[in-house]
Each structure stands twice: as structure tokens, then as C-alpha cells.
């Protein structure tokens, strides 16, 4: 275990409902600012859920030019912007000497569903001859990583993980494994989603998964609160640049955090509901602790999946108590989905980024809208206000439809030394 290659995080980038870059996103999360509001991307008047956490004032033409922007689905645009921010932040120079050792794992839960929906409309109203020649590449979930590779000329492993709402965390964990296997020195890793579209909103509402607190958008996402009634759809992307420690030290890179442990399990229970008492989540958290050679008592903060649905929040709480025992009550647990909404395949990535910032600043982001305690959700959820803390290791959980569970544990940058 001690001889395995160590993986560190050296670059951060994001586009979120509370900010179109890392600094603004973090500032707003610490301030407890909600990204929720009425849906503006389409007419949602007839929908059960008419609110969402959208990326505001997004202008892809300003980032990519009109021609290039029109050849990318919105989720790919988000991923590209976040990836380029992470690259700039890292200070990494891509050259002919290293491009074959740089890769990407960028996942998405639903990929280019917006493009599919629009082109289905074109098919039925204008006929097959009017279908865009870019339909297929724009809709594929792996296009984000592919477009990034083309743009930067990076030629190592390039994959798209698809594990529903666990996608972002699985992408990070698997990217770390690619580096450990020696297939790359550097990996872009994370997730992207553009899910505030009619078919996705209608489908999730049909599952009764979405909140219907339409008159109070900023109070709608309330993880662990007794009056929670469903999740708030969010969108955006977060990308982290991962490197082997040796590679980062050799180029004198700044190091934000270390990827210490990773767990991935499946409930094998139900296509949408979590296993009773969070059994799969328990196995996943224990796997991540074992992978990191850590004891539960060493975890100082948990960024929860915390969707604001009845079953998830109750079962995740039960799982945390099973893993951590009585000490669960002394570990701060917060859900930043209370502010960003549920960014589906990007949620694990943005929450890992938040965990990195928590380690860096020794500050815990809050769970906003926590007003009425639920007897079945009785942990310290950092209610409504951020707080300072002394933390060395952070755990971030993600759970997805299909029974997918993913947990990543990050350590303080001070620990990432040769």
C-alpha cells in the first residue's frame, strides 16, 4: 500500500449554478448562496417542477466562437470551459514531449440529451434530410473528452464514465487508477451535465424525484430537512487535474490535495432506489477507507450526496452511522446540493472540487435550508452557515440510479510531499 504511486490534484475548473469559475463558485457556496430560480431555458409553465439551478448568462460564443460552439452540446461546452480553467490553474504546459502522457476521463449522466431532443423535433417537423450532421458526435457522452483531446492534442487514455449521479466521483477515482497503472502522468477528470431540458425535467418529475416547491426556488433544495420533497435539477461541470506526485514535484506544481482513497460498489437492489439502510453506501465508504489505509476517525468532514429526497438522505445518514459509529455525530456532514442543485453526472466532480477547497481553506460549506430536523437524519449537517474547521481528510460520496456508489477521500496538500 505504501509503495503505490501517489496521486495529487494540481488544477481546478468549474462552471456551476453559483459561478462560472472556481473562485466565484466557492465564494458563493461559503456564503450560502442558492443558484436556484425559475426555469428560463424553456417554457416550463406546464411542468410539475418549474424551477432549477441553471448556469446563468452562459455565452458559448464568447468562449469558443459561434461556429465551434454550435458543434458542441451544452454539456460539452461546460466541460471544455472547466477543463481549460483547470489547465490554466495548474500551470501545466502541453508539448510534443508530454502530450502522449496526458489523458482525460470526463463523464456525463445523460450526455447530449438536449441535442437529441432538438433533433427529434427537427425530424418530426422538417424531415430526415434536415437532421444535423453533428447530431451523433454532439449527443455522445464521450464527446467532451474527445473535444478536449482534439483541442489540446492530448493522446493518453481518454474515456467517459457513465454511472448516473456517481459519474463525477467514479471519473476521478478511475483517472487516479490510470495514473497508478502507469498509463499516464496527468489526467483531466470530472463530469459535465446540461440537464435542464424539457424531456429530462418531465422524466424526473414523472419519477416524483423533483421538488415541487415552485414558489420558493431558493428554499426548494433542503437536504436532510424533514420537509424535503425532492431534488432540484442543476447543471454545469467540474474538472480536476490529477498528476502523479513525482510528476507534480518535478515541475514544481502547486498541490491542492492528494487522492488518498477510492471506493466503488453497486447495490444490486433497485433501478432507482438506494438499498435499505444504505448497505451499498456502507460498503463503498469502507472500501475507500481501506484503499486509503485510513481509520474512520481520521475523516474530518463528509461532503454528502445529500439530494434532498426522502430515501437518499435517510439512507445516507444511516450508512454514515454504520461506518462511523458514535463518532458519526461529531463529524460535520454537509450537502452543497442545497445550493447547486443536483448536477447529476457532474455532481461528484463539483463536490470533490468543493472538498479540495474545504481542505485548502479549512472551511466547511453549509447545508442551507436546514430548518426542521428529521429524527431519521440526526447528524451535524453544518446548518445554514459555513464554519472554520481543522481537517486533514475529507470524504465525498456519490450515489446513482442503477445502484452505483462511489466514494473518494482527499487529503490535505501539506501531506502530499515526497
**Gap between the Cα atoms of 146 and 159, Å rounded:** 8
Beta bridge partners of 52: 37
Asked whether the beta carbons of 333 and 304 are under 8 A apart, the reply is: yes
From 247, 284, 342, 377, the catalytic residue: 342
Q: Residue 104: enclosing H or E segment and its boundaries?
A: strand 102-107
Q: Which residues, other chains included, contact 197 with Cβ-Cβ below 8 Å and sequence gap of 6+? A: 41, 42, 113, 114, 117
Distance of CA 402 to the CA centre of its chain: 17
**How many C-beta neighbours within 10 Å does residue 403 have?**
21
- In three-state form (DSSP H/G/I as H, E/B as E, the rest C), the secondary structure along 75-111 is HHHHHHHHHHHHHHHHCCCCCCCCHHHEEEEEECCCC
The closest of 248, 258, 259, 260 to 90, measured between CA atoms, is 248
| Nine cell digits for residue 49 | 417542477
| Residue 49 is a catalytic residue | no
| Residue 305 is a catalytic residue | yes
Asked whether the beta carbons of 339 and 263 are under 8 A apart, the reply is: no
| Nine cell digits for residue 148 | 478536449
**Gap between the Cα atoms of 198 and 361, Å rounded:** 38
Asked whether the beta carbons of 296 and 327 are under 8 A apart, the reply is: yes
| Residue 151 is a catalytic residue | no
From 165, 247, 284, 377, the catalytic residue: 165
Q: What dihedral angle (degrees, nearest 10) is formed by the CA atoms of 59, 60, 65, 66?
A: -90
Q: Residue 126, SS3?
A: helix
6 phi, psi to nearest 5 deg? -90, 140
What angle (nearest 5°) sits at the alpha carbon of residue 155, between those of residues 150 and 158? 85
In whole angstroms, how far apart are CA 168 and each of 141, 175, 202, 285, 390? 13, 11, 23, 16, 26
From 49, 247, 305, 377, the catalytic residue: 305
Q: Is the dihedral of CA 378, 379, 380, 381 positive or negative?
A: negative
Find cell 447530431 and name the residue: 135
The set of catalytic residues is: 165, 305, 342
Amino acid at each position: 500500500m505504501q509503495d503505490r504511486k501517489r496521486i495529487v490534484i494540481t488544477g481546478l475548473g468549474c462552471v456551476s449554478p453559483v459561478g462560472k469559475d472556481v473562485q466565484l463558485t466557492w465564494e458563493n457556496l461559503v456564503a450560502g448562496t442558492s443558484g436556484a430560480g425559475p426555469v428560463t431555458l424553456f417554457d416550463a409553465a406546464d411542468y410539475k417542477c418549474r424551477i432549477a439551478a441553471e448556469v446563468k448568462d452562459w455565452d458559448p460564443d464568447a468562449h469558443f466562437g459561434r461556429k465551434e460552439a454550435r458543434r458542441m452540446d451544452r454539456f460539452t461546452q461546460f466541460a471544455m470551459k472547466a477543463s481549460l480553467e483547470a489547465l490554466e490553474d495548474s500551470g501545466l504546459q502541453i508539448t510534443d514531449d508530454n502530450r502522449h502522457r496526458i489523458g482525460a476521463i470526463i463523464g456525463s449522466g445523460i450526455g447530449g440529451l438536449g441535442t437529441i431532443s432538438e433533433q427529434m423535433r427537427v425530424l418530426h417537423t422538417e424531415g430526415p434530410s434536415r437532421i444535423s450532421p453533428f447530431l451523433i458526435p454532439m449527443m455522445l457522452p464521450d464527446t467532451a473528452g474527445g473535444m478536449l483531446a482534439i483541442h489540446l492534442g492530448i493522446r493518453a487514455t481518454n474515456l467517459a464514465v457513465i454511472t448516473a449521479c456517481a459519474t463525477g466521483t467514479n471519473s476521478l477515482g478511475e483517472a487516479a487508477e490510470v495514473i497508478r497503472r502507469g498509463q499516464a502522468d496527468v489526467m483531466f477528470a470530472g463530469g459535465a451535465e446540461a440537464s435542464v431540458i424539457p424531456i429530462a425535467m418531465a422524466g424526473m418529475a414523472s419519477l416524483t424525484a423533483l421538488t415541487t416547491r415552485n414558489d420558493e426556488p431558493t428554499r426548494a433544495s433542503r437536504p436532510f430537512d424533514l420537509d424535503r420533497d425532492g431534488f432540484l435539477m442543476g447543471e454545469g461541470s467540474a474538472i480536476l487535474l490529477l498528476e502523479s506526485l513525482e510528476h507534480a514535484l518535478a515541475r514544481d506544481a502547486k498541490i491542492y490535495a492528494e487522492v488518498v482513497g477510492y471506493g466503488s460498489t453497486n447495490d444490486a437492489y433497485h433501478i432507482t432506489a438506494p438499498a435499505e439502510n444504505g448497505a451499498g453506501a456502507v460498503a463503498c465508504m469502507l472500501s475507500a477507507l481501506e484503499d486509503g489505509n485510513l481509520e474512520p476517525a481520521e475523516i474530518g468532514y463528509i461532503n454528502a450526496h445529500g439530494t434532498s429526497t426522502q430515501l437518499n438522505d435517510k439512507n445516507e445518514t444511516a450508512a454514515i452511522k454504520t461506518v462511523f459509529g458514535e463518532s458519526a455525530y461529531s463529524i460535520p456532514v454537509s450537502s452543497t446540493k442545497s445550493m447547486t442543485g443536483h448536477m447529476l453526472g457532474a455532481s461528484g466532480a463539483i463536490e470533490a472540487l468543493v472538498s479540495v477547497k474545504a481542505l485548502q481553506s479549512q472551511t466547511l460549506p453549509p447545508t442551507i435550508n436546514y430548518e426542521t430536523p428529521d429524527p431519521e437524519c440526526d447528524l451535524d449537517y453544518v446548518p445554514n452557515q459555513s464554519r472554520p474547521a481543522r481537517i486533514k481528510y475529507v470524504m465525498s460520496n456519490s450515489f446513482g440510479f442503477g445502484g452505483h456508489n462511489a466514494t473518494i477521500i482527499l487529503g490535505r496538500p501539506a501531506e502530499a510531499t515526497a
